[in-house]
Amino acid sequence: MRDADTPPQEPTDDRSHPATLTPQQRADLIRTAAAEVHERVQEWRDNAGWRNTPANTHRYETTVSAIDALEQLPEPDSEDAVARLADVVRPVVLEWRPSRPGPEQSIYVAVERLRRTIDVNM
């Protein structure tokens, strides 16, 4: 068992090289990674150990708002449109840090995948 200061294992990067992906494929990777983050955050929120603190509420609302905004964007047809998708979810990446214990560690792993996905796509 890891202590709270030990970051989770880095996710493996098994995606294709970004130059070989179409804007739609890149968008699919971003949307998939964002959906995983949303799922992990919702599990954390639904957990009996959830503490309704201002910080937790802010992180939860930031994540849900960004994912909702992402779902409203049309499918991209250009690199600029893919960049817009990345910009919409970037606040989620900035919100989560690896030092949180418990269920928040699984959120961080998902956020790290999202960060790598949007960094690769930029």
Comparison of pLDDT for 104 and 118, the residue scoring more: 118
Question: Which residue stretches of 19-78 are H helix?
Answer: 23-46, 54-72
pLDDT tens-place string over residues 57-71 = 999 999 999 999 999
pTM score of the predicted model: 0.80
Question: Considering Cα of 36, then 40, then 41, then 46, what sign does the dihedral take?
Answer: positive
29-57: per-residue pLDDT in tens?
999 999 999 999 999 999 988 999 999 99
**DSSP structural state of residue 76:** P
